[in-house]
Amino acid sequence: MKGKNFFVAGLIVVAMFMAGTTVGFASDKEICKEQIKHYQLIKMNDGLLPGDEFNPYDYKGVTAAATKALENEGKREHGDKNHAAISKLVATHLEHIVTAAGAAAEGAIESVGHSMRFLYLSCKACHKVYRTEMRLRP
């Protein structure tokens, strides 16, 4: 009887582990599908598009997109500490963008641009480590 209980317990542990791994992968995919939308909204406002000298910089739009991306990044589930550390980098650069664009002070556009380059590299770092073969951009 005791042996049978161990067998059942073992099966439950294996089933939970399998469910855990699939949920983990699905969650990166879902979170990233949303992240790319926010990323592009910020990117569109880099002040470098032709004709941008005629358009006022959209501080509010950038702040809103970065705030949503930051919130979304917080929902990511981590299977190991490297995954968590890279996600933390992404969150840090997003925080800088929220602060700079939110203040809309002198030099804010440059500050956002600076953080955007680090954000790009941080998103890319995770893809390089976990999904090299997918050749994701970033």
Which residues contact ligand HEC by CB under 6 A? 25, 28-29, 32-33, 35-36, 39, 69, 76, 83, 86-87, 90, 123, 126-127, 130-131, 136, 138
Phi, psi of 50 (to 5 degrees): -60, 135
The CA radius of gyration of the chain, in Å to the nearest whole number, is 20
Considering Cα of 34, then 69, then 40, then 92, what sign does the dihedral take? negative
Least distance from C-beta 113 to ligand HEC, angstroms?
16
Q: Give me 87's structure tokens.
A: 């996600």
Q: Which C-beta is closer to ligand HEC: that of 5 or that of 22?
A: 22
Least distance from C-beta 64 to ligand HEC, angstroms?
15
**Cβ neighbours of residue 50 closer than 8 Å, sequence gap 6 or more:** none
Least distance from C-beta 57 to ligand HEC, angstroms?
21
Q: Which C-beta is closer to ligand HEC: that of 58 or that of 91?
A: 91
Q: Which C-beta is closer to ligand HEC: that of 102 or that of 138?
A: 138
Least distance from C-beta 42 to ligand HEC, angstroms?
9
